[in-house]
Structure 1
Amino acid sequence: MEVIVVTIEKLSNGFEYILVQNSSAVAKIALQGAHLFHYCKTNEEPLLWLSDISYYEQGKAIRGGIPICWPWFGFHKDKTLPQHGFARTSIWKFVSSDEPDAKTSSVIFRLTHSDETLKMWNHKFDLELKITINDSLKLELKTTNLDEGEFTITQALHTYFAVSDISEVSINGLNKKPYLDALTLKQEIQDGDIFFNSEVDRVYQKVDGEVILRDKNREITIMNSCSSSVVVWNPWIEKTKRMSAMREDAYRNMLCIESSNAYDDAVVVKPNSSHTLEAVILSLHKSS
């Protein structure tokens, strides 16, 4: 019988994470932010890009993996509040794990309101993340409204994919989709596949099918549920130089394709109701 292991590990500075090992893959999820920062299928290269100079310290978001942007995506109108919300730097509770077979493991994390969160966002909530790890990767981010009135959220699973070289990749599945170009603040329509030769920061809307990242040696398919917006981001040369916890050439080997509810795709959650943002990610090596 193959061994399945789910353990709580600590770095030398006390930073805690969950280590998941089964016959399909290995994954690491930090308790801070319920942040999946490593996923690697057996005998394959890691799916996720992770900065080799990233912080692993309380209160500082990890650069890479899949940060959780919640309950707002991007900058808040109150500039004193953190970009992308507080979930990615909050300490979550590890609730449970399940191993239905040797190939599959799932883990559940939870974050709920506190005196600290109520100062930043005056709503009572329960936030649950379920991650299922096998030949594919599935994330389910469930927001439950415990307040007396409705509230609105924007959110993203801010996935950093590892790529061979940004000049050799393309994105299929967003042709003819409208998008906001965050660099020019203009609304545009995508024409064909997406290629990269400069900085890209776009929020695509009305997305209703698979998004495929084509790389030299593999294809990565992303399928989202309860979401019609997808963020595509690469900071390119000059912006990378100004980014924290990134080497100057990091832009060459990373690309963010973010499953989201952003801008026009914001979600209103009524009292005692829930909304679940779901992403399923599958990578397949190309035949040689």
Structure 2
Amino acid sequence: MITLKKLENGFEYIEVENQSAHAKIALQGAHIFHFARHHERPILWLSQKSDFKKGVAIRGGVPICWPAFAKSNPDLPQHGFARTAMWTLGECQEIDAHTTEITLILRHNQERLKLWHYKFELCLSITISDQLTMALKTTNLDTRAMKLTQALHSYFDVGAISDVRIKGLDQKPYHDSLKDQEKVQEGDLFITKEVDVIYQKVDKRIQLITKDSILNIDNSGSSSLVVWNPWREKCKHTSGMSEGDYLQFVCIESANAREDFRIIPPGGTHILSATISKHRII
């Protein structure tokens, strides 16, 4: 079942329920803010202090950073403008009892052309089943090549950060944004302090391992991956977060960032996609 709903303040979102899972997607930002398989805890983390207001980014779920990740383009807002823009609902399909597909679309207009001087079409295709698949397709409708950085800024609910182990990054080079240093990962990644790193040459499945589950993250159209947790002090001062929220999530972001930026020629396309699947540990 696919239902268009509104909060009391008029904030619109799509609710999807099939025999495998339940999801909620805001029209603002094409932002998936809830995804859970039936009778299981949510895979995505959402802050209890999240604002569902026009022009304010939701804290949690999967914000879309586009057409710039972080402050890679100083002329744009932090993480670009797609995460707070109003998208248009495109095609919706109930493929079968267990699988639903939703497409949302964002295009250039006069306001966006003032921020970013390219004509474009951006489509997010979301497949909701016993796993979550997101495919973000950029089409360059301009007469000039465009340079793009972007991310599917996924917040994952981990229960307890002390249980987290991230596998698949051993020997991958990364940029430590906190120290502005280039390093190489040794072994699995454990989150024991503030982390803000951008990995490069990521070419295989990433696994987020917690006490009771393994989350598989399979990316395409990307060779970079961002891992972020604000930890104790920064969490206190981060909008839309409560003091202890850092203990409950980690962001693992499928990205085109730093050296993995993309150049899209006129008429060209690029698709960044991520599939999230979960296996319970018995």
Q: TM-score range by the shorter chain?
A: over 0.9
Tell me the SS of whatever aligns to 2:204: coil
193, 197, 201: which one aligns with 1:198: 193
TM-superposed deviation, 1:75: 1.2
Aligned partner of residue 77 in structure 2, secondary structure: coil
Opposite residue 57 of structure 1, the aligned amino acid is: K
Deviation (angstroms), 1:78: 2.8
In structure 1, how many angstroms separate the alpha carbons of the residues matched to 2:124 and 2:192? 35
Matched, 1:49 2:45: yes
Q: How many residues are matched?
A: 282
Counterparts of 2:104 and 2:73, CA distance in 1: 29
Instruction: Measure, in 1, the Cα distance between the counterparts of 2:73 and 2:207.
Output: 33
* Structural mapping, 1:32-111, within 5 Å: 32-78=28-74, 81-111=76-106
Q: In the alignment, is residue 219 of structure 1 matched against residue 201 of structure 2?
A: no
What are the residue-to-residue correspondences of 1:157-236 with 2, within 5 Å?
Answer: 157-236=152-231
Q: Determine which of 6, 10, 14 is the counterpart of 1:10.
A: 6
Work out the CA distance in 2 between the residues paired with 1:238 and 1:61: 21
One-letter code aligned to 2:196: D
1:77: Cα distance to partner?
4.5
Q: Which residue among 264, 270, 281 is the counterpart of 1:269?
A: 264
Please show how residues 232-271 of structure 1 align to structure 2 within 5 Å.
232-271=227-266
TM-score, normalised with respect to structure 1 = 0.97
- Secondary structure of the residue that 1:191 maps to in structure 2? coil
Q: Runs ≥4 in structure 1, deviation > 4 angstroms? A: none
Alignment of 1:116-131 (within 5 A): 116-131=111-126
The letter of the residue matching 2:263 is V
Percent of aligned pairs with the same amino acid: 51
- 3-state SS of paired residue (1:184): coil
Mapped contact 2:139–2:267 kept (Cα < 8 A):
yes
> Helix, strand or coil for the counterpart of 1:237?
helix
Partner in structure 2 of residue 149 of structure 1: 144
Aligned pair partner of 2:107 in 99, 112, 115:
112
Are the counterparts in 2 of residues 76 and 82 from structure 1 also a CA contact under 8 Å?
A: no
d(CA) in 1 for partners of 2:190, 2:271: 31
1:284 aligns with 2:279: yes
- Looking at structure 1, the residues matched to 194 and 49 of structure 2 have their Cα atoms a distance apart, in angstroms, of 22
**Equivalent position to 2:20, from 14, 19, 24:** 24
CA contact (8 A) 1:132 1:138 kept: yes
Give the alignment's Cα RMSD to 1 decimal. 0.7
- Structure 1 residue identity aligned to 2:219: N
- Note the C-alpha offset of 1:76: 4.4
Contact 1:175/1:190 (<8 A) preserved: yes
Q: Give how far 1:143 is off.
A: 0.1
Instruction: Extract unaligned runs of 5+ from structure 2.
Output: none
Q: Deviations over 1:18-71 (max 9, x none)?
A: 000000000000000000000010111000000001100010000000000000
Q: Distance in 1 between matches of 2:56 and 2:229?
A: 21
Residue segments in structure 1 that go unaligned for 5+ positions in a row: none
1:167, distance to aligned residue in structure 2 (A): 1.1
CA distance in 2, matches of 1:8, 1:77: 34
